[in-house]
Structure 1
């Protein structure tokens, strides 16, 4: 009954607004996808084909659209992973103990907006050194293996575990920082989430920054990692798989 009541409550206007943001982000990312035919031509004619096709937007001139892409990607992927924390906050709002659902969400997404700017700059720099192709995918085995190894090793880090412990117990987290207000708590929640997920997000440079299949899979993984009953059995095996993948890239 409590689960059904929660689902009914998530039809309120502020929840519908959140769904609209997520759906709009996914729709925009889908619209920005490079057509399959163009991808096939790039594979056929090599990196020079893509560079010549996109000379107007190459390098730093393309930074604004790259930032937009990362902002959309962060909203589409990270807002759904915050739903357990947002449901907890909504419970507090309904009980009269809290207010400011929008402020909490804004603070959370603002942190990921900052990450998006940094990731965009990193993408442009890597592309300038021809370490990424026009689809934001690594063209260098050493870079690919390094990203996989870093992400895999981070799965075993104390920082990752500390951040996950807060994400998995949102009520305890809110109580700990109650006096800071919804906006600052949203910023702090975003920072904790960033501590959980930044390494997995950077793997976009392995899967391709405009690869919707990778985005969807990574979003599901990060969501499950934040679930107390599931995530504790998932984090380390994922780390081992990523480290193993790094080894395979170097060997083969």
Structure 2
């Protein structure tokens, strides 16, 4: 993983996390760093109900997707790289590009959802839930999805990347990347939408969610995590529904 394309991928992930950190920095830190342009990030991550606000939200969700989802696909990317050593023709950039294109599409959907929720008064300008019903509903949806056959089918492919690539190799690297991104989206979309519960710009939530999604895709760990996580999410939904917190 010392080749230039790997370094570029790791650089992309680190840069995305760095930008997200700057966007989510507390107000006093932003104020202290105005001379270095930190106020720009405060403006960048605050939702406004117009076209410019929507574009900022798409960019923000795209950064979140790159920072949070690219690490979950590293085992699959490494497996694809190993296939090159067998003499198979590979194009790493096309694979990663196809994968990220799927998550860019998700970013457009998530940004539109954020605009609608903001317009309905259900979330604040930084994407945090203002509604116990919304929080409970999203937690219940994510918890129930942990037990769904679709989730299990998608996870089975993510946990066996060699089998996945062997089944679809003839489609080429770009379509393999698109397919891999779609499978990954099938695993993680509900957990990603919990950003509206934990706070879209909450760096601690993003870090925890990333760790959980990485572990869930590891064969020896993920099989013991998926259902207990679903139980925990459903319990959290019930707690919020009862207490209104």
TM-score by length of 1: 0.88
Give me the whole-angstrom Cα distance separating, in 2, the residues matched to 1:127 and 1:38. 26
State the partner residue of 2:49.
59
Q: Is the 8 A contact 1:89 1:98 kept in 2?
A: no
Whether 1:133 and 2:124 are equivalent positions in the alignment is: yes
State the partner residue of 2:228.
237
Which whole-Å deviations, capped at 9, do the CAs of 1:28-80 have from their partners, x for residues lacking one? 111212524499xxxxxxxxxxxxx99x9521341111111100000000000
88-97 or 117-126, larger mean C-alpha shift? 88-97
Whether 1:168 and 2:159 are equivalent positions in the alignment is: yes
* Residue of 15, 21, 27 corresponding to 1:24: 15
SS in 2 for 1:136: coil
State the partner residue of 1:217.
208
State the partner residue of 1:115.
106
Q: Is the 8 A contact 2:143 2:234 kept in 1?
A: yes
Which whole-Å deviations, capped at 9, do the CAs of 1:56-105 have from their partners, x for residues lacking one? 95213411111111000000000000000001000001221131011000
Q: Is the 8 A contact 1:81 1:223 kept in 2?
A: yes
> Alpha carbon RMSD of aligned pairs, Å?
1.7
Which whole-Å deviations, capped at 9, do the CAs of 1:190-249 have from their partners, x for residues lacking one? 000000000000000000110111111101100000000000000000000000000000
Give me the whole-angstrom Cα distance separating, in 2, the residues matched to 1:57 and 1:156. 34
SS in 1 for 2:172: helix
State the partner residue of 1:198.
189
**Long gaps (5+) in structure 1:** 1-9, 40-52
**Long gaps (5+) in structure 2:** 31-42
Which whole-Å deviations, capped at 9, do the CAs of 1:14-36 have from their partners, x for residues lacking one? 10000110011111111212524
TM-score by length of 2: 0.90
* Residue of 204, 227, 251 corresponding to 2:218: 227
Give me the whole-angstrom Cα distance separating, in 1, the residues matched to 2:178 and 2:92. 13
Give me the whole-angstrom Cα distance separating, in 1, the residues matched to 2:237 and 2:65. 25
Q: What does 1:57-136 align with in structure 2 at a 5 Å threshold?
A: 58-61=48-51, 62-136=53-127
